[in-house]
Amino acid sequence: MELVLLDDITSSFRVLYGRKGEKVTLISDHGDVLIVQGQNGRFPVHISHTDKQQDLNGRKYSNDQV
């Protein structure tokens, strides 16, 4: 499944995992956290930072939840 990042994804370990608007591939779903693969490899991202509105378990999310 292909997703689009809604925000830049960074951490204290890496300056930039993915840029806003970048298309990434869903690797694994762990509730609110998704493991995705982009141009800079695999990285975790909260579901609210993607365009995915419903996870694989059928729970619905809005982008204002953190």
What are the phi and psi torsion angles at 33 (to 5°)?
Answer: -110, 130
pLDDT tens, position by position, 16-28: 999 999 999 999 9
Looking at the DSSP bridge assignments, the partners of residue 4 are 23
Say if pTM beats, i.e. exceeds, 0.75.
no
pLDDT tens, position by position, 21-56: 999 999 999 988 999 999 989 999 999 999 986 544
Q: Which domain holds residue 10?
A: 2-49
43, HSE (Cβ side, Cα atoms, 13 Å): 21
- The structure tokens 């996870």 sit at 55
**Is residue 25 in some structural domain?**
yes
Domain count, the chain: 1
**Is residue 64 in some structural domain?**
no
Alpha-carbon gap, residue 31 to 19, rounded angstroms: 22
**Is residue 58 in some structural domain?**
no
